[in-house]
Structure 1
């Protein structure tokens, strides 16, 4: 590992020669205009912009693309990959260089490949805010002292940094790469652009870096025109005011007072011209010096990818870190014959799964035949081509590491010790996977996860992966479901469901998920092959676990242990898994797969409405925000349709339950008879009423869950 600083122009030169490239696993460009402007302001003032992280390699390390672009590129044989710093270097390249100049007649093809947020040209508005003392180049007096730059803060100069968007429909604008109104030669066209830019006092920045130097770059042409106009204005402003003339010109002509006394008009005019020329040269020189500003970088030698993540955390905790998944994608890309890893994963997730009859046999009505894994939220909502963070880290990488480091189907060694170790879920072990292990095990990893999503959706009432109470519970399920015989066997699937509910309602996963998941992989797989049930202790703790699912916790009576989201989700999802009927539409049965497919909208309903506590002087919102309030108990919650929820609103249970069919009540584990259970007794306080009603629902749930799991265990 080497620490060094290099000038920006060196980085951009090596990039133009394909010696510095972006590995194709890198995210796209995401910075908005404000972030770009803030970086540019800091860089113009000579402030450090943080370290960048480079990795030395060869062209076969990763597939690569150009900086600022989505265009694939073939690197030089020995090249450098930019691992961290893409957003900053891309911003500076887009500001200071002109990719369109390479092929101006083909600007549209370059525009298409450029990230949308970078399709613009940047300028310094020399005159903007000059009257407000934001005049860093002293446009008012045409005398530039670069030492004054140090007096400004980035926040002061962002107002003078402007950009114009390059759009397909504005190619007749002077800043557009296709601008050429009369088919002029290049020199005439550039003069016309400089004239238009100077009229707005906009100095172009996009030719500060050039692979082929122009005779006179646009920023100089523009500065000359701005200076010519301004010095004429100064001459007019100071006409017949010798003291003002002396004040302005003595910086470039120390003996200006004598020249005025001698009425030497030629020498005075020469002083004005000198003021003009010197200002242009000084400002141009300063702008050009920006390209020599050094950027700190850390350069890793070849084959140190596993260290990149840790190094990044140390040098730049505020950036957009390279996660384990990004580095695994990088390794996988060493096989250039395969499509990018994310593309392959999403392709598998997009495949419909034929649901085995064994999985749906216990369903009471509708038995779906096809399952779409993508409906379960493995990708982010705004971009179906981007995997969710949870899927990447918690599910794919953990399972990939397990499959890569073990012999499948042998969870125990000859001495009865678990072969699968907790270290397989650690970052170091994951990053040590070879590119062959990644590529060879990805298909079965994602296939088993797709089956897991199907199982959770059909059997466990999970409508989205993000709603799973404990994310690592996927690992034992996915490990077992890779086995085709288990996937199609009703008895095996029933046992997996038994394990799931027994583990969930006993609170087994509320602590040390990773250790528990590793242990359960071996225990569950072994149980599916043999007849001894290793989870009977969890069965005994269902809805009895201290600090998690005991009655006191569920009734919000344990002040030290308020119920968490895990048990709330567990109860809601268990009821949903039984395909209950809607409260007001008896013909409508709920199912998690209908919700996942957006064919049904459900809402989390308070059986006893929050408004019922208004007598206690609390608003509904205040009660909703108070996790310790009994009406927020998981026992007071169930899913109903959004339509029914709207109709029921804040009605009391004894008033709306008369419209709810008996079969609907049973499906939601509502204690009956309604008139007896939900009518407040004369001798009951409000608190006693809620305690009794919710305790009776607890007993209904407890009985239902226990009975079902006894059937599942066979």
Structure 2
């Protein structure tokens, strides 16, 4: 069914076309937005829109483009359309052609731009707007690729409201006369850059003909070009008829007869015609035919099938988007917003979680601090693990772990979860993931979820924590039981450093969910003890993965150090809460202080790269840093210290800065005991020996801690 872009914009303004609360966030990056605008400008089809025809109150609804601007049900027409597919395109077009003014801070971050067309071509570009001779023939003969470079945008930041394109530019000028001066100044500045604003076009065509900023700018650009053409004509570079003959065929006679009034009229007509032709072309874009696919309100189940069909076709709605849509009901806010509410709710930190923690100990905590929510959107990591755990919990009765299979964390099983189970089980699943994230944060030195060496390692922990909500009246809570938490930590370090997840991670994850659950909730048995002992014995000994040969980059087959091991070593050091290298302050490096930005840290090379100048290969610090396979770039040579400490010592020789830092700090960062005055030689062989000793100290420390966890 066809409609026009104008009718779509009107329906949005009148709340006849809204976003159902279950819709996904706006995610398009600038390049995708540009490509859509380019297609519209050259009058190519921009795709179909899927609309569910409904009625007021069928779903909680938001305004198009807004992050959380919910529509009062009384403001929604009795009949309204819910946008099921096309949100990214509709939002892009609205943000480009409408002026959101001060509301620009309420719309999605990726939409906080003002859009323009650059009229003057640069060297080598085709003159698509006819600026050279002030003659415009439309854009519908061009391809999007020929137009896209003329589309410009400027990002709107609160701190840059002194820029002419900012909605708050000189907003203190509230009187009409002053406001007119402000608009004229904006038009002048836009014309200086040859930027015609798109964001005034909708207001001009739909509401207020006085809001014609784009036309004002076009006039100023045209008048400037007219003066340039006059000068070129006077200098004999161009002939009058080359420019003005289309305006008046008698122009040559007027010039020869000195009829200035007729000549000036011709110039004025040239400017006016060009402005009108460009402005009308842009304003008439709202008459573009748009194809709407409409579903009756009784066809909501079919809408989900259409969602899936669109996903197959390449629009790439995620599995999460489809599950959110499937969960939508009139009496509940969207699944995404329910998840957000749980994530931002503070949880109490149990005493058992602290283990041997020293220093600051927060009593409560918000999970969004470590990246479960980014820019008001649920992070990709959290969406994926939510779906995995939701599927495991919804498809097999909790506790029947022997029935858990790898297939349960595949797309087909996630999409088959019934609506009621999605809505009923989400809170338990999210709370369990939050507790697992807290455990990794406070016990295991994970600063943010992107630092987890293997994403799936959060699932065995989270599955265990579901117990606390599943059996909420049971006196035993994993969250409050130090012995259980110690077992989880033992599993985590042994599996991570022992190479359990280096291959077939999905299968390993399910196997660990089963085994860890039984280890905590069933009596110990010899098989489980052997299972964990196997990885304990491989800690920093797994060939091709975590052994010394790999870490020193001496393995002839495995020439790269796995990122997981690099992350693991750094986070293990943080889990020890080591003293910082700043000698005049007792600052402990903790994951929670880093996450809350109470301390800024850098990855510090213990043997400074500046020492590379003393190595017999004559490489500079920069060269060594870029040479990833250099021994000094091994994670054995890395630790986190404060940015302040790093700046103070980064250029110092190893001997000098080691004398300045606290002996306790050296010990807590697992640096080997070594007499720098007697043993330092400034050669590659010395650094290798230094890192070997740190490797032994690291391995010994991990194993001693794991043994302590089980006592």
Q: Which band: TM-score by shorter chain?
A: 0.7 to 0.9
Distance 1:525 1:21, change over 3 A: same
1:520 and 2:512 aligned: yes
Higher mean C-alpha displacement, 624-633 vs 66-75: 66-75
The farther-off stretch of 553-562 and 430-439 is 430-439
Q: Is 2:494 the partner of 1:502?
A: yes
Task: Give the superposition deviation at 1:451.
Answer: 1.6
Distance 1:245 1:151, change over 3 A: farther
1:58 matched to 2:42? The reply is no
When structure 1 is superposed on structure 2, of 690-699 and 477-486 the one drifting more is 690-699
- Cα offset for 1:511? 2.5
State whether residues 26 and 110 of structure 2, in contact with CA within 8 Å, keep that contact through their aligned partners in structure 1.
Answer: no
Q: Show the counterpart of 2:400.
A: 410
Structure 2 CA distance for partners of 1:616 and 1:309, relative to 1, 3 Å: farther
Q: CA deviation at 1:248?
A: 8.8
Root mean square deviation of aligned Cα:
5.6
Q: Which consecutive unaligned segments of at least 5 residues does structure 2 have?
A: 155-162, 234-238, 254-262, 469-475
Q: Does 1:541 align with 2:531?
A: no
Distance 1:635 1:122 in 2: 49
Q: After TM superposition, give the deviation of residue 579 of structure 1 in Å.
A: 3.1
Q: Is the 8 A contact 2:113 2:153 kept in 1?
A: no
Q: Displacement of 1:476 after TM fit?
A: 0.4
Q: Give yes or no for the alignment of 1:378 onto 2:371.
A: yes
Asked if structure 1 preserves the Cα contact closer than 8 Å seen for 2:4 and 2:290, the reply is: yes
Range moving further from structure 2, 620-629 or 602-611: 602-611
2:327·2:422 contact (CA, 8 Å) conserved in 1?
Answer: yes
Residues of 2 paired with 1:256 and 1:292: CA distance? 37
Paired residue secondary structure (1:72): coil
Q: How does 1:253-264 map to 2 (within 5 A)?
A: none
1:688, distance to aligned residue in structure 2 (A): 3.4
Aligned to 1:345: 339
Shift of 1:14: 5.0
Change (3 A) 1:623 1:280: closer
Distance 1:509 1:468 in 2: 12
Partner of 1:552: 549
The offset of 1:520, in angstroms, is 1.0
Distance in 2 between the 1:133 and 1:676 partners?
64
For 2:660 and 2:133, how far apart are their aligned partners in 1? 84
Structure 1 pair 69–387 and aligned structure 2 pair: CA distance change class (3 A)? closer
Please say if residues 18 and 61 of structure 2, whose CA atoms lie closer than 8 Å, have aligned partners that are also in contact.
Answer: yes
Q: Distance in 2 between matches of 1:277 and 1:581?
A: 72
Quote the offset at 1:507 in angstroms: 1.3
- Could you tell me which runs of 5 or more consecutive residues in structure 1 were left unpaired when the two chains were aligned: 100-106, 184-188, 239-243, 259-267, 413-418
Give the count of matched residue pairs: 664
CA contact (8 A) 1:401 1:425 kept: yes
Q: Which residue of 2 aligns with 1:627?
A: 628
Quick check: 1:392 aligned with 2:390? Answer: no
TM-score if structure 2 supplies the norm length?
A: 0.73
* Residues 204 and 218 in structure 1, CA contact (< 8 A), matched pair in contact too: no
SS in 1 for 2:616: helix
Task: Tell which deviates more after alignment, 703-712 or 299-308.
Answer: 299-308
Larger radius of gyration: 1
1:574-653 equivalence runs, <5 A? 574-583=572-581, 585=583, 587-610=586-609, 611-612=611-612, 613-651=614-652, 653=654
Label 1:251 to 1:55 Cα distance change in 2 as closer, same or farther (>3 A): same
Could you tell me which residue of structure 2 aligns to residue 311 of structure 1?
310
Corresponding residue number in structure 1 for 2:450 = 466
Deviation track 1:279-306 (CA, whole Å, cap 9, x = no partner) reads 9998787566533434467778743436
Report Cα offsets for 1:452-497 as digits up to 9, x if no partner: 1221122212222222211211110111123233222222111111
Q: CA deviation at 1:541?
A: 1.3
Shift of 1:146: 5.6
Question: How high is the TM-score relative to the length of structure 1?
Answer: 0.73
Summarize the Cα distance change of 1:116–1:166 in structure 2 as closer, same or farther, 3 Å threshold: farther
Deviations 1:548-580 (A, max 9, x none): 111211111013312122112222222332333
Q: Give the Å deviation of 1:633.
A: 2.0
The change in CA–CA distance for 1:710 and 1:179 in structure 2 (over 3 A counts) is: same
